[in-house]
Amino acid sequence: MITIPRRHFLVALAGTAGAATSLRTLAPGIARAQEQNAQELPEAVSWKDPGATIVHSDLTVETERDAIGTSGITSKDVLYLRNNLPSPDEVAVADRDAWEVSVEGVAEPRTLTVGELKRMGVETVATVLQCSGNGRGFFEHETSGSQWRTGAAGNLLWSGVPVRNVVEALGGLEDGRNFMTSTGGESLPEGVDPKEVVVERSVPVEYAMEHAILAWEMNGEPVPRAHGGPLRVIVPGYYGINNVKYVQRVAFTDDESDAAIMRTGYRVRPVGVDGAPDQPSMWEMKVKSWVTRPLADVENGTVLIEGVAFGGYHALDKVEVSTDDGESWQEARLLGPDLGRFAWRPFVLEADLEPGTYTVTSRATNSEGTVQEEVTEPNHRGYDYSGWRRLAVDVTVV
C-alpha cells in the first residue's frame, strides 16, 4: 500500500472542512450552490464538465441539480466525486488486469488478479450510487463535511464478477462468516494509525453473496481511477461508502471490521452523541426523489416537471408531484426502461400552470409501500436528508 506525507493528508481534509464552512451559511432547501466554480476541478477529475459540477474540495465534487438528464444513466462527466483519501498513483491503472485482490475466509484463500476475476464470470447491474451525506445541506443543525444538496448521487451501470462466483471458485465460505469485509487500496498518510483512516467496510454476508459484484467496468468503460478503478466493490442498494474503491482485500469475517470508518464512522446517531458499533450503520438506502427541472422562471402554459426517484433498498413503485408545497399530489409518469430494483427512474409531470410562484416537490413510494418521508430527523453527521418538504424548489411562472 502506498503512503503519502501526513501533511498532504491534512491539507486535503482542511480543504473539505473549508468548503463545508463556506456553504453552511446557505439556507436549507436551496436548489443550487451559490459558489459554483469557486474552485477549479481537481486534477484527478479535470475531465468532468465544469458547468455541471460544484467543487467542494479536492476530494469532493457535486453534480448540479439540473445536470441530471432523463436518460436514466449518469454520465461520468457529471457524476459526483466523494473520496475519503487520495487515490492510488496512476500506476494502479497502468495494467488494470494485473491489479490484485486477496480473498480470505474461504476454503481456498488466495490472491487473484483482475485478469483472473474476468474468467470467473460477469454480470451487469444498474444501481444508484449515493454518498451517505447527500442532502446534508438541508439539515438545520451544523454538520461537518461537504454540504451536499442533491448532487451526491448518480445512477450507473456496473459490470464485474459476482462475489458468489468468486467464493464458489475458492471452495465456498468457511463456517461462521457473517460479514464481507472489503479493504480499499487508497494511499495512507504517514504517522497515523492505519485503522483510524483506512477505508474498510463490512456488509452482511448473505446480502453480499446475493447481490455484490467486483466491478471493473462503469457505464461500459473501465472504472475511472477517481471512481475506484481498476476494481471496485459494488453493493447495490447500499450507500456509497460500502462500495469500496481500489479494493485489495475481500475477507469473509465473523465480525464487523474494527477500522474507525466502520467502528464509529457512518453511524446514525443523535446530534452530539459519539459514534459507536451498536448504532445503525449506513447500509440500506432510503426511498427518495427530487425535482431536477425547472429550478427557475418558466413561461406559463404546460410546464414539464422532471426529476429522479428510487426505492432505496427496494424497487420503486410510483412518484407523485406537488406544485402547492404538499397540499395536493399528482402521479408522475416514469420515463425510460426499468433498469431493475436498485436503479432510479427519471419522471415527468406535465402541469398546466398559470402565472405565479409554485412550491414544487416530489415524493416516491417503493414496492414495500414505504413513502418518502416529509422531514428527516436530525442526526449528528447529517446523513441522507430525504424529506420531500425541504427538497422542494420555488418556481415562478411568468
CATH number at residue 230: 3.90.420.10
What are the angstrom distances between the C-alpha of 53 and each of 47, 60, 395? 11, 10, 22
Alpha carbons 230 and 232: distance in angstroms, whole number: 7
The answer to whether residue 20 scores a pLDDT higher than 50 is: no
pLDDT digits (tens, 9 = 90+) for 345-356: 999 999 999 999
Domain of 382 in residue numbering reads as 288-397
pTM attached to this predicted model: 0.90
Asked if residue 297 and residue 203 are part of one domain, the reply reads no
Q: All 3 cell numbers of residue 165?
A: 462466483
The answer to whether residue 150 scores a pLDDT higher than 50 is: yes
Asked if residue 303 and residue 257 are part of one domain, the reply reads no
CATH number at residue 334: 2.60.40.650
Q: All 3 cell numbers of residue 289?
A: 426523489
Asked if residue 59 and residue 14 are part of one domain, the reply reads yes
175 found inside a domain: yes
The alpha carbon torsion through 31, 35, 36, 39 (nearest 10 deg) reads -150
269 found inside a domain: no
Alpha carbons 62 and 34: distance in angstroms, whole number: 13
DSSP per-residue codes, 121-152: --EEEEEEEE-TTTTGGG-SS--SS---SS-S
Contact criterion met (CB below 8 Å) for 76 and 163:
no
Closest C-alpha among 252, 221, 219, 216 to residue 233: 216
pLDDT digits (tens, 9 = 90+) for 226-236: 999 999 999 99
169 found inside a domain: yes
49 found inside a domain: yes
pLDDT, position 39 = 77
Contact criterion met (CB below 8 Å) for 150 and 26:
no
Q: All 3 cell numbers of residue 181?
A: 469485509
47 found inside a domain: yes
Asked if residue 327 and residue 230 are part of one domain, the reply reads no
The answer to whether residue 114 scores a pLDDT higher than 70 is: yes
Asked if residue 317 and residue 224 are part of one domain, the reply reads no
The answer to whether residue 178 scores a pLDDT higher than 80 is: yes
Q: What are phi and psi of 246, to 5 degrees?
A: 50, 40
Question: What is the total count of domains within the chain?
Answer: 2
Cα angle vertex 253, ends 247, 255, to 5°? Answer: 115
